[in-house]
Structure 1
Amino acid sequence: MHFKLLLLIFFCGLTVTTNAQEKQGANWFLGGDYDVFLGPIPGVHLDFNHSEVSKSQFLIKYGMRVGAVATISDRKGRLLFFTNDGYVFSREKSNNEYQPMLNSGSRGSDFSELIMQNPKDEQRYYIFTTTYSWENPLLVKEVNMRLNNGLGDVVPSASGAVKTNIGTGMAAMLHANNKDFWLVTSSATGDSIFSFPVNAAGIGARVVSLPNRNIDSLCWLKSSPNSEMLVTGGKQGVELFHFNRHTGAVSPFVTLGIPDPGKEKGYSFSFSPDNKKLYVGTKSIFDPVNNQNNSSCSILQYELTAGNATQIQQTVTALYKTSLPNSTNDPLFISDMQLAMNGKIYTSIRNPSFSYNQNYLSQINYPDQKGLNAGFQLNTIHVGALILSLPSLNQTIFRNVGKLQAQASKDTICYGDSVQLSAYGAGAERFRWQIVDGLTSPNDTLANPIVWPTVTTTYRVIASSPFRTDTAFVKVVVRTNPEIKLSGPEEVFTLAENQEYQASGETPRSTLNWQVFGGEIVSGQGTNHIRVNWAEAGSGTLRVVEITGQACNYSESLNVKITGSPPPVFYNIITPNGDKLNDAFVIQNLKWYAENELKIYNRWGVEVFRTRNYKNNWQTEELSSGVYFYRFQAGTQTWKGWLEVVK
């Protein structure tokens, strides 16, 4: 199958929710390396699911590389898979190492990767990759999470190249219909920008924009959270573009200069959550005269709502600037900037003088604030190994990161279950939850309380930072606990058979799964009415579990006392005529008296029949019609009576 046709079959755009930010960007994998002498050097896993970002080390098979990385989690923040330099790694671990998917492929010289979800199938994802290879292809892979027992695998038939001669940067933009998407790249020569529509029909023909700007195709290409702006580096400075979400066309917005243009150029970028600020990380420029790098870099903020290009340029504020005392052949630069789901921007600084153990992430705590109020904080997360790329994340999943969000780990729970709430976004640092059903602690720093609601409940959280206060709500639906009742004999004889039991009060159209301890079910499993044969003396238990089809199973139990034996019942008419009716002398409940002795006498007291361990099989073959008398003895008990033989 031609790859172009394949794309038309499987690309279906991205499902989005315009009023909520979920947790697809909750897990970041970065750092690490491979040394020929030291072997794999651990990378760092950052977990944004809690108010404080948690950090742990990890290893992957063959060792983490400093090339392209991307991660994706489900909407509740649970890791699905991540990529690194051409490999796709599942969440499966072996010997404490994450394992590549079976059809992951081989390593490449990748620059950036971007993961998108198929809207018609939440189990399918697509990975776009740009590379440093001679033909600069834009590659795509498909991951199906149903494969490999739910751990996912790459679908080999869905891998290939979309277009060649592509620049290294990529961005995802939300279509004007708030349903479809645009995948945006640049040409390898930097003279044009390509927009590929991604919708229910697949990936369509590219839209080519010629912005008359000579952009740097080796820089990052970043989108604003609202998908209305693009930014990248250029020969004249930092190039901003308007993006038409209807047509995919790109048009010039402004060109912004770097305060120290002879020594630095724009390289990495991020927009603020409110789309009003632009953050630029610079890279030192090579000085051909002295044959060395100028060895300085900065983090800059521009206020995009200030007015025209000149007015915006005048708002530039340096949040951070550093330089090396001695020149080096290796550049000093802000290697990447990435907005996170907590509303903060994280940055990595490539300092060639650092050893493996000296690398940190820094952060901009309040990126919606102007100037130094943005709160740049240096060296906040120690990552050890070299960081050239933060996880390339689809910026559209952060389009509401400026608003406080609240989420439950499960939207619907069963009666009696617990659920974890979480609040995030808006740069919030303090959290206070309303005390309602299932929540008793007013802890004002707890972003992720665990609650035990007994009824459907809406929780409110108020969160704050030094500059703002926000409120969010989350609703947890509690499925009603049905009042199942069991009825039937609670005291039975040992070995009692066909005892009837019934359940009532169950949810309509549910299935009942019965369990019997001390006996066995004769009939009725799955229904509300069963028959049971009980065993020897002691105690028994019936337990019924209601399976509702909504992942909620409720149960009820009934204890049964098993004791004693029923008295024998003697049928005193025998008609041994071969019609199989009353042909033999029958004693009902005989199984309770298996060790016995039976004697039969005629009217004159003469014994005419005797046997031990009687089996209900005496048919009076040798006797004539008349009245006879029996004596039945079992243990210390004796029963006497008469019987009539009719022939």
Structure 2
Amino acid sequence: MTSGTGTCSISFSNVVTIQVQPVVTPSVSVAPPPVQCPGTALTFTAVATNAGPAPTFSWLVNNVAVASGPTFTSSTLVTGDQVRVEVTPTAGLCSAAPAVATVTVTRTPTPLPTLAIAVQPGGPVCLGAPLTFSVASVTEAGPAPEYQWQINGNDVNGATGPVFTSTTLREGQTVTLRLRTINACGQPVTAVSNGVPVRIQPPVDVDAGPDKEILAGTSVILEGRAGTYPVTWTPATGLTISPNDPLRPRAAPTVTTTYTLSAGEGGCADSDQVTVTVRPAIRIPNAFTPNGDGRDDTWQIEFIEQYPDNTVNVFNRWGNKVFSATNYSRANEWRGDMNGQPAPVGTYYYVVVTKGPLGKSYSGSITILY
């Protein structure tokens, strides 16, 4: 509007009224959901204040954006997850900054069951001996646990109790126990125990050693073998057994005796036998009377038949051989003759040799009388 003319005129504009809007501080709150079982859907609702009529919402789980809108629902959240909502006020509203609220998720605790088994006896057993497996410790088994014993991961038919005994296991197999139960939230859970390897001791291999021969009144060392197993010799007659070396006893029987060496028990047991043959020493008479009276008519060497591999030689005083025989026995005894004629009365000298394991050389004098 203009008033006046010329240099004295005055102009006026319209009047503008300015309104200053106050700055507001938005806020948001989220109520923690009730503690529920894992897998149950949880719903979070954001309640915004001072955010205007149309704020925007952004939901994040562990700093990862997952949803928008005033509510957020998820069934995959677990204990410890951080759920955050960020609220941006309505456009045009003077606000200081977006509003933020965070809630930490807590689920109903559902610890997994744990299971450990043990075996008795703990050391190696003989093949066919019973092995008993049992629950050593268990947690969170629930009111109605279901057990299933397994060998090398395969179910054992009918083995569904807390104890399992078998006599047919083999070296190298592994026994485990599977537990199935329902947790506090009614969810099925499974646990498998530690694996227990089967330890089977190999069968005893007993060897009593080679048969022996001894002269009466002497002894011999037996040569048994049975690894590290405790052993037993039967009968004990004539045996001297050292506690430091029971596999090698000294045998001094008075008659031929068969000894049995035994070791192990049950499926591990084994035994073997060794015979100690006792041979009497030969007895060489120092005189005989080949006069045909039926008494001492031949030079009878007692027990020489026990040593059939033998040689007998007789010499006169000048060293001349007057008799010789191999495999001397009653069948070929010296009858006191020389070249088919009766030997003169006198003293002769012999050399008797027996061969074999008990071989020995004997020498001495023999007198012929009539």
Q: Tell me the TM-score normalised to structure 2 length.
A: 0.39
Larger radius of gyration: 2
The structure, 1 or 2, with the larger RCO (C-alpha pairs under 8 Å, 6+ apart) is: 2
